[in-house]
């Protein structure tokens, strides 16, 4: 008796957790006693009965610096990508050249406070995403995973971001 035939017989008799379908032996494809919908209904019924929140739910977490930095890192990444994409699209579709629009902004005569704030608003996400990205690269090297180190590196990222952003806005 060939190996293929033995496996087919065992699979048909339910003696192993493999079955033959379309000439291919599928492992761990045993028939389920319930459907996925029935399992899902049981899951939600149990969670409703036990009054469990949908997890993860922000109301069950205590907000922390690492959590906020993680969310901010994702947000600045999305914002920077969107901004660069919008700028590139504008460069493609607007009728005039870059110097024309730069002169247009200069002719609006914004006050120095507005210009400083604008510079800060542009520098902050770039600086933050850069410094936090370096922090992530250090984590990729396996450094700084202890809880005090995570908090310390987070505070360093915040401090460097603010100092760099203020320095660039002052230029």
Q: What is the pLDDT of residues 98-147, one digit of tens each?
A: 899 889 988 888 888 998 999 999 999 999 999 999 999 999 999 999 99
pTM of the predicted model as reported, rounded to 2 decimal places? 0.64
Half-sphere exposure for 115 (CA within 13 Å, toward CB):
9
Q: What is the pLDDT of residues 13-47, one digit of tens each?
A: 554 555 555 555 555 555 567 788 888 899 999 98
Burial of 72 per CB tally in 10 Å (0-12, 13-18, 19+): middle
**Arithmetic mean of pLDDT, 163-168:** 96
**For residue 55, what are the CA distances in angstroms to 40, 49, 65?**
15, 15, 21
Q: What percent of the chain has pLDDT over 90?
A: 54
């Amino acid at each position: 008796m060939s190996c293929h035939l033995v496996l087919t017989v065992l699979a048909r008799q339910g003696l192993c957790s493999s079955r033959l379908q379309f000439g291919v032996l599928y492992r761990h494809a045993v028939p389920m006693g319930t459907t996925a919908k029935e399992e899902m209904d049981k899951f939600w019924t149990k969670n409703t009965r036990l009054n469990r929140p949908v997890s993860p739910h922000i109301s069950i977490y205590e907000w922390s610096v690492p959590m906020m930095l993680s969310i901010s890192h994702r947000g600045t990444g999305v914002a920077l990508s969107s901004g660069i994409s919008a700028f590139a699209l504008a460069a493609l579709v607007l009728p005039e050249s870059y110097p024309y629009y730069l002169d247009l902004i200069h002719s609006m005569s914004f006050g120095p406070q507005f210009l400083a704030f604008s510079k800060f608003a542009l520098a902050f996400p770039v600086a933050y995403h850069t410094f936090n990205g370096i922090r992530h690269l250090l984590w990729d090297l396996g450094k700084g995973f202890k809880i005090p180190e995570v908090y310390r590196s987070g505070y360093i990222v915040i401090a460097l971001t603010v100092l760099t952003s203020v320095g660039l806005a002052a230029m």
